[in-house]
Amino acid sequence: MLRGIDSEANRLKVHGVTLTERQKMEAGQWYCCIDAELEEMRMQAQDAVHEHNGLSPRERGTLGPKLRMVLGAVGADVRIEGLFHCAYGCNLFLGDGVYLNAGCVVLDTARVKIGAGSMLGPAVQIYCAEHSTDRALRAAGLEIAKPVTIGKDAWIGGAAVILPGVVIGDGAIIGAGSVVTRDVAAGTTVAGNPARPISAR
């Protein structure tokens, strides 16, 4: 793992290209998350999340104002309940009518797209970051970001975990408590750890 990352760094140097850690993250390359620019982006997201979670339901409405501004895209009639958390916000794209129940976590180091009409139950977690299996590199903050896509009208049951790089098709159903490690075809219901198809509609 260390050799592979060193080789990539050398290749960039040979071609005279210097990428920031943010640019590496956005390009799907290994990057160091211990970085001033990324930390500032995370702080902006934390400020927005803090406001969203701290407002009374009547004041917050469907979405706190700072959170609305920091998200990548927000369709019509989107609602995010309180105790929400995201890593950057700018990589989260929500279609019309998307609903996130209480306690959802989206670690959007890469693009997370949730299609129109999809609903996430309480405490659903979406992860985009994968860390190095080399413990020295892991301690140094090396990670790689992989996008997650959820299609239209999907239903993600409470406490489900969706791992990096997964694509969930339109109308799919993810059972509560499932760990989704691979793509889920449209119209398919999966459940378990790891999630497996249990029926098709």
- Please tell me the distance from the alpha carbon of residue 152 to that of residue 149, in angstroms, as a whole number: 10
- Please tell me the distance from the alpha carbon of residue 93 to that of residue 40, in angstroms, as a whole number: 20
Chain center to CA of 187 = 22
Q: Which amino acid is at 116?
A: A
- Please tell me the distance from the alpha carbon of residue 113 to that of residue 137, in angstroms, as a whole number: 29
Which residues are annotated as catalytic? 131
Left (φ > 0), alpha (ψ -120 to 50) or beta: where does 180 sit? beta
Q: Output Rg (C-alpha) for the chain, integer angstroms.
A: 18
- Please tell me the distance from the alpha carbon of residue 57 to that of residue 19, in angstroms, as a whole number: 42
